[in-house]
Structure 1
Amino acid sequence: MPDRAPQPVDRQLPTEEARDLITLVRDIVQREIAPRAAEEEDAGHFPREVFSLLSESGLLGLPYDSEFGGGDQPYEVYLQVLEELAAARLTVGLGVSVHSLSCHALAGYGTKEQQGEHLPAMLGGGLLGAYCLSEPASGSDAASLRTKAVRDGDDWVVTGTKAWITHGGVADFYTVLARTGVEGPRGITAFLVPGDAPGLNPAVPEKKMGMKGSPTAQLHFDGVRIPDSRRIGEEGQGFAIALSALDSGRLGIAACAIGVAQAALDEALGYATGRKQFGRPIADFQGLRFMLADMATRIEAGRALYLAAARLRDAGRPFSRQAAMAKLFCTDAAMSVTTDAVQVLGGYGYTQDFPVERFMREAKVLQIVEGTNQIQRMVIARHLAGPETR
């Protein structure tokens, strides 16, 4: 059966412009995303047309400067847009988060000339981005990456393989981290690579348990030549740029997780109030009522946590610890809530006739991407107790 349209969340938005923005997003969700989400996910259809519409509507560059085509929106607002999109279809919500992540390096560390040349098309010109940090042998240990960029005159020649790339093979540009110097984090540099660069070859997309509409693929760089004008930041600054991007990206994952959890709760609540057993709705039974209450509480707590971290970011204050906490808590909450939603629906929840089984499969990946939840615990602990002793 098709997904039910997401139920409107009572949002606390800071401006009338932000309220209008959420209204626009909900209209797009109702018309263009929710009605086809289940069918297209089952078919593995990547909704490029939806991303084009979001770009035309000014929704792909919300947290960036309007000087270069962005929306000038605080993260507090941008993340709530992500939540609305993810509640309708995670492929779309997560896709917007990944696109924003891929723009971060240029927007934060590029020269004015680079920003003026590339950002308008990236933020509002219909382009879609991807972020290339992970490799087959370096996921959590990203500082050990092996993809190399070797200087050749005014160019760099990039060779190696990136793995687990969301939008791999369909993106118009890639923010790529490659080794240009010594081993470890100080020898990594960031580059902006066009999606059609000669020598850039995507592999067959991975066969995943969820998010089947979002292509995830390895990318092979076979002597890809990139002009130095597409180097972002200083040589050796790439790892610091990557970590900066991931702090913000983790908030995007947290918001997406709460969107999926909210969708699962809505579905479970609708089923529980309509399904009758023993002559009354199953929502009347205390065991289910308490389960629904716990689900709603986890969602509200997660939403409050990611918004609190976003407000720190908007105020220019440190937020790395809070971003890790939000990513950890919200994605664990999504896994718990979606699992409970399947339980509420009983046997029906285990079938593809209802979307909660898809929500459960999708929630799992959110505990893994942009730093596993074990890595988030390491980040939080380092903020609390300092680096590990050797």
Structure 2
Amino acid sequence: MDAETFDQFIDQLRRYVRDRLIPAEKEIIETDTIPPAIIDEMREMGLFGITIPEEYGGAGMNIAQYTRTIRELAYAMPCFRSIISITIGMVTSALKNGGTREQRQEWLPKLAGGMIASFGLTEPGSGSDSAGMQTMAVRSGNGWVLNGTKRYITNAPQAEVALIMARTSREPLPKNAHVSAFIVPMNTPGITVGKSDKKMGQAASHIADVIVEDVHLPADALLGLEEGKGFITAMKSLDNGRLSVAAASVGYAQRALDSALRYANERKAFGEPIANFQLIQQMLAESDIEIYASTTMLEDAARRADAGENVLRKAAAAKVFASEACGRIVDRVVQVYGGAGYLAEYEAERFFRDARVYRIYEGTTQILQLQIAKHMLREFNAGVA
């Protein structure tokens, strides 16, 4: 998307977030559901297809534009990002990177039109540890039969299609070549979606188990028609997913800080606004500094990704820093609100609950620290050799 068109889109999106989405939050929190009318509006705005190439009906945004869009959208409550980000950052990315021409032609126009998707990697006994994956795919005639259970799958209750990771070899293979990816319509016989899990926060963003029992798939359900590429494709998609979580952390941290600024100027103590107190100012300033640092890391990682660099470490670092910073910021916001910050009547406690999962999504802080260190050591040793 050219720069001028993108700027116009961002202006439109910012108005939509503030005039339409934020006023709808109270109803959404009460019902735990995004109104269908809002989802239809998001489809009409093209939000489900922002990174899909124009030839498939999308807007063709690059990664930098995508993360900027997510920052703007994430100023509102997190459910609006989650309903589109799995489709955009994970499934669409996997299809673009690893799908055949025919798979892209079949699925990308549907996703651009607003089809909701899920990404099935995590299981009851495994997440980042692919060796522990239990879901199996075995050949059956010209197709495949899948069995297993996926856990904590975002959008599962609403999804129409899922990209499901499954073993195609019982024995672990080098470079995780025992894991393949399958495009699975959610109405396929044998697919069962569990009850939506009750969560700490993030109302209307639904997660659930996906149970796969003797699910028969045609041969062309295998992403790229090639075994052993699923985990690699998943990891490449996770770079986009991690940048999306970093962008969401930045957007929501800004929302929380803006709320704290308003409250600090309205709330009076000892005859003056608490915004005049230096220790309140310190918390506000520290939060602004961390948002700036998070934004800079995010923009740098996105720019490098658009330039074709391997951004595994950079995307992980941006996600870790931005999500941890968001956690610190929403904690300060509760502190600025004081006793009111602990009450559900005020929005500070919701910010606190909503933000906590950003340090877990798409790889916990600790897993990503290990991943960053592993690649640092690998590059160091390669340089020494």
Q: Same fold (TM over 0.5)?
A: yes
User: Which residue in the other structure is 2:162 paired with?
Assistant: 174
Cα deviation, 1:235-271, whole Å, max 9, x if unaligned, reads 1111111111111110000000111111100000000
Identify the match of residue 199 of structure 1 among 162, 183, 190.
190
Identify the match of residue 72 of structure 1 among 19, 38, 60.
60
Identify the match of residue 99 of structure 1 among 87, 90, 95.
87
Question: Deviation of residue 380 (structure 1)?
Answer: 1.4
Question: Deviation of residue 27 (structure 1)?
Answer: 2.6
Moved more, 303-312 or 94-103: 94-103
SS of aligned partner of 1:196 = coil
Cα deviation, 1:13-32, whole Å, max 9, x if unaligned, reads 98111111101212321333
Q: Is the 8 A contact 1:349 1:356 kept in 2?
A: yes
User: Which residue in the other structure is 2:212 paired with?
Assistant: 221
Q: Is the 8 A contact 1:268 1:344 kept in 2?
A: yes
Identify the match of residue 236 of structure 1 among 211, 225, 228.
228
Identify the match of residue 336 of structure 2 among 331, 344, 360.
344
User: Which residue in the other structure is 2:288 paired with?
Assistant: 296
Identify the match of residue 120 of structure 1 among 109, 114, 138.
109
Q: Is the 8 A contact 1:144 1:183 kept in 2?
A: no
SS of aligned partner of 2:367 = helix
Matched, 1:372 2:373: no
User: Within 5 Å, which residues of 2 pair with 1:151-162?
Assistant: 151-162=139-150
User: Which residue in the other structure is 1:308 paired with?
Assistant: 300
Cα deviation, 1:198-234, whole Å, max 9, x if unaligned, reads 1100111111101121111000001111111121021
CA distance in 2, matches of 1:19, 1:363: 28
- Mark the CA change 1:368 to 1:15 in structure 2 (over 3 Å): closer, same or farther: same
CA distance in 2, matches of 1:326, 1:373: 11
User: Which residue in the other structure is 2:326 paired with?
Assistant: 334
Q: State the one-letter code of the partner of 1:246.
A: L
User: Which residue in the other structure is 2:124 paired with?
Assistant: 136
Q: Is the 8 A contact 1:138 1:145 kept in 2?
A: yes
Identify the match of residue 152 of structure 2 among 152, 155, 164.
164
Matched, 1:283 2:272: no
Q: State the one-letter code of the partner of 2:106.
A: E
Cα deviation, 1:130-170, whole Å, max 9, x if unaligned, reads 10000000023134211011111122111110001001121
Matched, 1:362 2:350: no
- Mark the CA change 1:221 to 1:49 in structure 2 (over 3 Å): closer, same or farther: farther
CA distance in 1, matches of 2:198, 2:379: 37
Cα deviation, 1:319-342, whole Å, max 9, x if unaligned, reads 111100000000000100001001
Q: State the one-letter code of the partner of 2:218.
A: P
Q: Aligned residue pairs: how many?
A: 376
User: Which residue in the other structure is 1:188 paired with?
Assistant: 179
SS of aligned partner of 1:383 = helix
Question: Deviation of residue 298 (structure 1)?
Answer: 0.5
CA distance in 2, matches of 1:329, 1:38: 30
Structure 1 stretches lacking a partner, 5+ long: 1-12
Moved more, 57-66 or 199-208: 57-66
CA distance in 1, matches of 2:150, 2:26: 30
- Mark the CA change 1:130 to 1:310 in structure 2 (over 3 Å): closer, same or farther: same
Matched, 1:251 2:248: no
SS of aligned partner of 1:375 = helix
Matched, 1:26 2:50: no
User: Which residue in the other structure is 2:201 paired with?
Assistant: 210
- Mark the CA change 1:89 to 1:120 in structure 2 (over 3 Å): closer, same or farther: same
CA distance in 2, matches of 1:228, 1:47: 37
Q: State the one-letter code of the partner of 1:213.
A: A
SS of aligned partner of 2:86 = helix
Cα deviation, 1:83-121, whole Å, max 9, x if unaligned, reads 111111111113322121122221221111111111101
Runs of 4+ displaced beyond 4 Å:
none
- Mark the CA change 1:126 to 1:97 in structure 2 (over 3 Å): closer, same or farther: closer
CA distance in 1, matches of 2:162, 2:104: 15
Q: State the one-letter code of the partner of 1:134.
A: T
Percent identity reads: 38
Question: Deviation of residue 387 (structure 1)?
Answer: 8.4
- The normalised TM-score by structure 2 is 0.94
